[in-house]
Every structure is written in structure tokens, then in C-alpha cells.
Chains A and B, each alone.
Chain A
Amino acid sequence: MVVNPQYLDKENLAQIQSLFKQNKELPSIHLHSFFELNFYGKILEEISSLSFKKEKDPLTHSYSAANIPRLLSSFFSSSEFKDFLFSVGGKRLSVIGGRLFSFSWKEYTVLHDTNVDKPGYDLIIDCTDDWDDSFGGSLIYVPGTGEYTSIPYRGNSLTIVQRKKGVQKFIKYVNTHAGKKKRIFFLGNLK
């Protein structure tokens, strides 16, 4: 078992499902301390051995990306995770694609006409342990109308966001106060 047992408890799962649906415009759930510490430590270890590749188009994005860590890939195909997703989303969902992203000073994404998300579910596994809001780097969801929603950063957290029609997202520019720190997270889609 690699998931924090409190997220496998039936009563808790029922509560998580109801919380997920509470925000009608942007159904989402953000779970802290998601993995058992030992497993999370191993994920971080694997991440530190991965090679990230810089990708940049000044008009739309600047970041580094790496393929999904092997440990996360196996976890996504486990029955433990599939059952968890079923309990939260109320239907069978699988991880389809996704990559590990790293944002450091001067990196960002912007909303752009050429890069429009179709409705669906995002899965975010945050691996950023040493970060502060003042550094920028927030993952921000923008509904067609209404307020921006910033996803709280926290290492070892799992976030699921249901993007309805017109909902887009961007990563706020990382400023000089980040120094050499990096904002690292897995971002994938569920279907």
C-alpha cells in the first residue's frame, strides 16, 4: 500500500467525492500527504535522477519537462489507484499521458489560442517541497467567466480538477525570489 490509508477509508472517500462536486464551476479536490512518506521519498529520489529537457516558445511557454517517473507510472496502473479514482470521480477514470514539469526562474506558460484545452480531467501530483507563494509558479485555472482559481502548491499532494468547457490553465511566471529552487509536478489527464 502506497497511499495514505486515510484516503482509502470508505467514509473519507464519500466525503472527498462530495467535496469534489461542491464547486460547480470547477469541480476539484486537493489532498495533502497523499502518499506514504516512504513511497513519496522514493518518487523524489527517482525524479532527482531524471533528465529534464528545456522547451521554449517565448509566446506560449518556457519550462523543462521529463517523462513520467517509472514509480508513478506503475502506481497509475495499480488497482489501488483505479479504485481510488472511481470513488472520487464516481466513474472509471484512467491516466492518459502526462509529464513531469519543472519551472524555475523566468519560466512560465501563458494562455494562448493555439493551445486550448478540451474539457476533461487534470491530475496533478505535486513534488515541490520548498516553495513560497511569493516566488510565482502557481498553477492557475481560468474559467470562461468568474474568478481565477489558484491550486495550492504542496509537496506530496494530489489534485484532480475537472475542466468544463472554456476552462484554461497557466503557470504564473517564476520570479527572482525563487533563486535556484524549482517547482516540480506531474501533470496528466484522466479519461
Chain B
Amino acid sequence: MNDSLSSWIPSSYLKETSLVALKKSFQNNTPFPHLNLQNFFREEKIKKIGEALHQETFFPKNSDLFQFHQTNDFKGSRNKVIIGLRTFLCSPEFVDFMQKITGLTLRSTIIDLHATLYRDTDYLLCHDDQLEGRKIAFMIYLSMLTKKDGGSLQLLSSKNKKPDSVVKEIYPCYNSFVFFKVSPTSFHAVDEVIGNIPRLAMGGWLHGR
């Protein structure tokens, strides 16, 4: 077992049999390949990440398509914990782990990583995330929201390459790692947050070769 991986991720996710099962789930999940992995990072790691995010500056983002707060890309972060996470997420070991699950050819060393904060009435309308090079979109949730709080990641089915309707809702769960394959039909949205529970998450993209 790889030391770098096992220091971040519980060993239950790293067994060959787990990887085979995860690959199958990823490919079979609808409306497009995705996975929602609970308790993904080791407890001491996710705790430190949560604490580190409280030191970061979130800037308001407001347009026709969205309303929320977001950090700059963590490429320029000076926070050791965040740099550590970023280095891990684009390390050859983690990228290889993701390749085994997704079956995609991914690039190590290149990653986009930021954090978002949604509060009452914040939202992100339907879009597909397509931008050159992006292969996998991922989220690391640091909050716990349920149906009454809104804030779910909504996945939409498509008809004739256009979004049709919401067929799956993933509610943010602390320390869950959610990712999906970016494609012309990976239509998704973040439902409006309702109430006082802030929705804190890290997000980004892994790139392809």
C-alpha cells in the first residue's frame, strides 16, 4: 500500500477489490458517471483542512448564473495545510488512484483548487463545467446539509444534448468526496441554500493528458 495515499485516505478505499467496485459504481451511476465517497479523508486531515479554510479570504461572486463566495485558486496559497492538500491531490499516487476508478487518463501536477461558501439564498444555476482540459470535477464537503437546508448538488439528465431535469440530488456531507466526469452533457447545479447553515466546500478539476 502506498504511504502517501494511506496517510490521507482510509485503507478501506485503497484495496484492489474496493477500487474495482468503485470503478463499477462510477461508470454505472446516472445521469453521468459520478461517485460520492463518504468519510474520504483521514479525520485528522479533514479537521486541519476545515481549520485552514477559516483563515482564507472568500470573495463575493455574483452574476446571472450564480451567487456565492469563493477563494482565489489555491495555487498561490501560503497556508501549509492547503498547499499540502493541493500537492497530494495532484500527486502521481492520487492521480493514479483516480485513474483506476474513472478509467480516464489524467495529468498529475496540474490541478485547479479553490473553496466556495454558500449562505442563505446563494445558488449556482445549471451548466456543464466544460473547459479545455477538464476531465474530472470534484468537491470536498466541509458542511452537513439536509433537504430543508437546500444546497444540494443537482445532476440533470439530458435529451438531445440539452439538460432536461434534475434526477439526482447529493446533499453536502462533512468529509465526503464527490466527483464526476466532465462532458458536454455533465449538466449540474447547486440548489439554493435556505437558512443559516453555511455550505463550505473545496472544489476543482483534474485535467487530462
Contact = CB atoms under 8 A, between A and B. Distances in A.
Interface stretch (A77-85, A87-95, A171-179): A171-179
A172 B192 CA distance: 13
Contact of A58 (B121, B125, B150, B194): B125
A170 interface: yes
B64 A170 contact: yes
Nearest to A62: B125
B162 interface: yes
Interface string B175-189: 000000000000101
B32 interface: no
A136 B164 CA distance: 24
Contacts of B162: 57, 59
Contacts of B126: 58-59
B182 to A, nearest CB: 16
Interface in A135-187: 136, 140, 142, 170, 172-173, 175-177
Nearest to B154: A58
A173 B127 contact: no
A108 B192 contact: no
A109 B125 CA distance: 10
A182 B189 CA distance: 23
Given A59-B163, A109-B64, A111-B64, A175 B125 contact: no
B64 A176 contact: no
B121 A140 contact: no
A145 to B, nearest CB: 15
Contact of A136 (B121, B187, B189): B121
A50 B127 CA distance: 33
A116 to B, nearest CB: 14
A153 to B, nearest CB: 17
A57 B127 CA distance: 11
Contacts of B189: 58
A21 to B, nearest CB: 28
B192 A59 contact: no
A25 B125 CA distance: 29
Contacts of B64: 108-111, 140, 142, 170, 172
B163 A175 contact: no
Contact of B125 (A108, A176, A177): A108
A176 B194 contact: yes
B121 A176 contact: yes
A106 interface: yes
Contacts of B65: 110
Q: Which of B64, B123, B187 has the most CB of A within 10 A?
A: B64
B166 to A, nearest CB: 9
A173 B118 CA distance: 15
Given A136-B121, A170-B64, A176-B121, A58 B187 contact: yes
A46 to B, nearest CB: 31
Given A106-B192, A142-B64, A172-B64, 18 more contacts: A57-B162, A57-B163, A58-B125, A58-B164, A58-B189, A59-B127, A109-B64, A134-B121, A140-B64, A173-B67, A173-B123, A173-B125, A173-B192, A175-B121, A175-B192, A176-B150, A176-B192, A177-B121
Interface of A: 57-59, 106, 108-111, 134, 136, 140, 142, 170, 172-173, 175-177
